[in-house]
Amino acid sequence: MLNFIVFYLLDTCRMEITRICQWLSLLICVLLLLQTEGVPVGITFVENAVAKGAVCLDGSPPAYHFNKGSGAGINNWIVHFEGGGWCNNVTTCLSRRDTRLGSSKKMDTSLSFSGFFSNSKKFNPDFYDWNRIKVRYCDGSSFTGDVEAVDPKTNLHFRGARVFAVVVEDLLAKGMKNAQNAIISGCSAGGLASILNCDRFKSLLPATTKVKCLADAGFFINVKDVSGAQRIEEFYSQVVQTHGSAKNLPTSCTSRLRPGLCFFPQNVVSQISTPIFFVNAAYDSWQIKNILAPGAADPHGQWRECKLDIKNCSPNQLSVMQGFRTDFLRAFSVVGNGASKGHFIDGCYAHCQTGIQETWLRNDSPVVAKTVRN
């Protein structure tokens, strides 16, 4: 019946009989797109977190979007941490304080769930009936910061680690305490959060829960930029210093290295005991744009067009990008081939792939040996 209505409306619209018909056709197309590509999920504010000091940069409560599981998946959970870069000093943190990346007051009240988060068995056969949560990112430290003092001149709160703890606590009270399976995941800065907090997440759940970690585009590497400077190393050190993150980074790393270096997964992953899986592009587009060829390293804009579209890259620039791939794979080699660590590293020029239907599960999605999913 639905197909008949759709075809009828589309046909009549092509004939341009009425403007109302065009509107109805558009509405049906949008509904069909939502059915296949994503479902809107409302926001939940953790209001009691404020009293605990677990707040966003501006002091507002943390938030997440929760699509409840059903049937056989009712006791299985995916807790996904949103990405969005970092702020490394008061100036950069102030620039994001009054945006969605620093305040829950500025966040969209609804997010679309697709890919890894879809509730469609067709488009997400393994996890469609799980409890699926997207935790919003508003602290600028990959959920690692914890500074008690708040400067009244800036009203900046560096409390990412507290946000992490209070969100998990809230979800435990809403049923995750009964979880049979639980996955902590994240994209970009959230993917880094899932690495740095992997063992911590497991420690907060019941001992009977089978816990695994998934990092999507979270394996940021320590590499020189095109000018020869080690900017990302300095930047991460500033992030850790500003947010007071050192005490919340894995002690297996901070006992050996400077805290700023423990923001790099390559210095942390070998000591992670919880099973973890990595999804990353070897030609990670964000890292190429912001770590390999940031604007500060390219004052004359020679990389500008290349970063916008790799079809515009010169042979020399493509060679530099190939070198980045080599550096990435070398850094990633520390992951090894143990039973508790797995990975899917593709050759795409991309960043974050699990939450997008095109790269998660579709006819033209990346595959291994012509196998869409194992």
In sequence order, the 6+-apart residues with CB closer than 8 A to the CB of 173 are none
60, 104, 188, 194: the active-site residue: 188
> What are the E-state strand segments in the chain?
39-45, 63-67, 76-81, 110-113, 131-135, 181-187, 210-216, 276-281, 341-346
Between the alpha carbon of residue 62 and those of residues 45, 56, 321, the distances in Å are 6, 6, 38
CA distance 175 to 68: 10
157 in catalytic set:
no
In DSSP notation, 205-248 reads S-TTSEEEEEEES--------TTS--HHHHHHHHHHHHHT-GGG
Q: Half-sphere exposure (CA, 13 Å, Cβ side) for 365?
A: 21
CA distance 118 to 39: 7
351 in catalytic set:
yes
Catalytic residues: 188, 284, 351
